[in-house]
């Protein structure tokens, strides 16, 4: 996959960005699009472009961490209250406006860029003469990526148009909003198909592409989000028994450029600095100026986040710099790099999306308060240097599991979806003195274009 990144710039002239609505993405009437998608090589480049959408500002490079970490009690917008800092603090405090919240609008639009690229592939690939194994693999990658994009939309907006084919501008304006439940049902079918198409792993040239394990992990997460724990159990057991993942012996070894795509990693967004137009910007955003000359000190861990770690929890030192920490620069995230100076928006660190520890904790969630569930949780705790817990440990099973997920998966875009799934978002936000909205507002531009759409509650 990495060797194909240099080809992605070519796709700028082949795959259009948004115009006046999500439905204007990549209209099939565009002449240069119709001249593409003719060979197996074209389809490989096309699916690489779908991966490229994961690197956009509206997805994993910025908007998703704002919506899934900073919206929660894990992080805040930092001390700056001007420029981007002002926008982040409005979102952090549930005060953003549907017409002016550019970060949220970018999430909506850039996510549909990725969906549109996947839809074009799925609509055209069967007409291309190519080897069947490669065809199925590209289909599986496209179905997984489209599902990942739609999962982020459904969790954060609930009601969005469900589009699964290449469309014209005229067709697009007829699409209605679908509920999250309808979207999840589609994703279950798509991910089941994707898992059947995808390989367990790749050779070195294609490391970073979606695998069976990635499709199954997202499928299990969607079952849990829907409240269907029994359906999640066999999927999670299959990941554990069949797909070869393992917990690394050290939590610290999960992170850093030499540790990309390690044995615990199930899916990461791939970034490559050095002027390739595929570097990340979040490394700079998360770092304070004291550590990087281009640091911005955004997505700052909260005091509550620091307090969530038990004494001697080895995950703290690998995840964040605490107040009075070794770098003496206040609280900031360490997982995604800080010690090397990068040009603005051009860092090498990947973004971890799915990993094996999450699978173990999801299986504990699906099984409920059982001895096996505590065994699964304690595998994760043992790696962190902590004593085991049991049903005799104070607190409810749900509260203990949610706390374990918080510190294990901190800053990996799980906290806000977890609070929603566990039914804890309102209580936890009120404890911070905030009046929460459980859904983000649909961007006003979408309501203006599609007058039948309804807004989420204020």
Alpha carbon distance 88, 82 (integer Å): 9
Q: Calculate mean pLDDT across residues 149-166.
A: 97
* Bridge partners, residue 135, by sequence: none
Per-residue pLDDT band for 3 (boundaries 50, 70, 90) equals: very low
Q: What is the pLDDT of residue 32?
A: 63
Q: What is the pLDDT of residue 21?
A: 35
Q: What is the pLDDT of residue 20?
A: 33
Closest by CA to 422, choosing from 437, 443, 446, 402, is: 402
- Give the least confident one: 150-159, 163-172, 328-337: 163-172
Q: What is the pLDDT of residue 343?
A: 79
Q: Is the pLDDT of residue 405 over 80?
A: yes
Alpha carbon distance 458, 440 (integer Å): 9
Q: Calculate mean pLDDT across residues 370-374.
A: 98
Q: What is the pLDDT of residue 17?
A: 35
- Give the least confident one: 125-139, 206-220, 250-264, 293-307: 293-307
- Give the least confident one: 107-116, 182-191, 332-341, 432-441: 332-341
Q: Calculate mean pLDDT across residues 398-421.
A: 98
Alpha-helical runs (H) found in 158-179: 169-172
For every residue of 96-154, DSSP letters joined together read --TTT-HHHHHHHHHHHHHHHHHHHHHHHGGGS---HHHHHHHHHHHHHHHHHHHHHHH
Alpha carbon distance 295, 281 (integer Å): 10
Q: Calculate mean pLDDT across residues 414-423.
A: 98
CB 443 within 8 A of CB 101: yes
Q: What is the pLDDT of residue 345?
A: 87
CB 63 within 8 A of CB 114: no
Q: Is the pLDDT of residue 29 over 80?
A: no
DSSP-derived 3-state class of residue 54 = helix
Q: What is the pLDDT of residues 95-106, one digit of tens each?
A: 999 999 999 999
Q: What is the pLDDT of residues 63-83, one digit of tens each?
A: 999 999 999 999 999 887 777
Total residue count of the chain as it appears in this document: 458
Cβ-based neighbours of 130, under 8 Å, separated by 6 or more:
39, 40, 43
Please indicate whether residue 184 or residue 449 has the higher confidence score (pLDDT). 184
Cβ-based neighbours of 80, under 8 Å, separated by 6 or more:
86, 296, 297, 298
Q: Is the pLDDT of residue 53 over 60?
A: yes
* Bridge partners, residue 347, by sequence: 280
Residue ranges of domains in the chain, CATH in brackets: 1-198 (1.25.40.390)
pTM of the model: 0.93
Q: Is the pLDDT of residue 90 over 50?
A: yes
Q: Is the pLDDT of residue 158 over 90?
A: yes
- Six token digits for residue 6: 């240099």
Please indicate whether residue 2 or residue 213 has the higher confidence score (pLDDT). 213
Q: What is the pLDDT of residues 243-293, one digit of tens each?
A: 999 999 999 999 999 999 999 999 999 999 988 889 999 999 999 988 888
Strands 351-355 and 160-161: unpaired
Alpha carbon distance 127, 148 (integer Å): 25
Q: What is the pLDDT of residue 422?
A: 98
Q: Is the pLDDT of residue 210 over 60?
A: yes
Per-residue pLDDT band for 167 (boundaries 50, 70, 90) equals: confident
């Amino acid at each position: 996959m990495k060797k194909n990144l240099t080809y992605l710039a070519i796709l700028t002239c082949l795959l259009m960005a948004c115009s006046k609505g999500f439905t204007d993405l990549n209209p099939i009437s565009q002449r240069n699009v119709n001249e593409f998608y003719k060979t197996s090589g074209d389809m490989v480049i096309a699916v690489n472009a779908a991966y490229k959408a994961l690197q956009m500002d509206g997805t994993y490079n910025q908007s998703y961490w704002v919506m899934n970490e900073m919206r929660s009690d894990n992080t805040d917008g930092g001390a700056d209250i001007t420029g981007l800092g002002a926008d982040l603090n409005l979102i952090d405090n549930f005060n953003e406006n549907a017409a002016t919240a550019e970060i949220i609008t970018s999430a909506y639009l850039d996510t549909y860029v990725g969906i549109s690229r996947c839809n074009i592939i799925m609509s055209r690939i069967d007409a291309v003469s190519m080897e069947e194994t490669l065809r199925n693999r590209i289909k599986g990658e496209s179905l997984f990526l489209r599902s990942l994009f739609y999962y982020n939309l459904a969790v954060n907006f609930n009601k969005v148009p469900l589009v699964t084919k290449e469309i014209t501008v005229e067709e697009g304006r007829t699409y209605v909003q679908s509920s999250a439940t309808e979207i999840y049902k589609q994703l279950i079918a798509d991910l089941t198909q994707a898992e059947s198409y995808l390989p367990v792993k790749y050779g070195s040239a294609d490391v970073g592409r979606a695998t069976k394990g990635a499709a199954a992990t997202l499928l299990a997460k969607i079952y849990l989000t829907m409240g269907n724990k029994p359906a999640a159990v066999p999927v999670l057991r299959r990941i554990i028994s069949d797909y070869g993942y393992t917990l690394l012996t050290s939590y610290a070894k999960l992170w850093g450029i030499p540790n990309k795509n390690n044995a615990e990693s199930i899916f990461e967004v791939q970034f490559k600095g050095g002027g390739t137009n595929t570097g990340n910007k979040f490394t700079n955003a998360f770092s304070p100026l004291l550590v990087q000359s281009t640091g911005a000190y955004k997505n700052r861990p909260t005091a509550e986040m620091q307090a969530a770690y038990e004494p001697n929890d080895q995950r703290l030192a690998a995840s964040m710099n605490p107040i009075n920490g070794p770098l003496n620069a206040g609280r900031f995230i360490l997982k995604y790099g800080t010690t090397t100076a990068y040009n603005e928006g051009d860092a090498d660190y990947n973004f971890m999306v799915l990993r094996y520890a999450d699978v173990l904790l999801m299986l504990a969630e699906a099984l409920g308060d059982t001895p096996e569930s505590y065994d699964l949780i304690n595998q994760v705790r043992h790696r962190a240097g902590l004593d085991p817990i049991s049903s005799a440990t104070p607190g409810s099973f749900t509260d203990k599991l949610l706390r374990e997920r918080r510190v294990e998966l901190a800053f990996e875009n799980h906290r806000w979806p977890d609070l929603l799934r566990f039914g804890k978002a309102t209580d936890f936000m009120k404890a911070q003195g905030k009046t929460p909205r459980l859904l983000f507002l649909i961007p006003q531009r979408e309501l203006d274009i599609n007058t039948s759409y309804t807004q989420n509650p204020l």
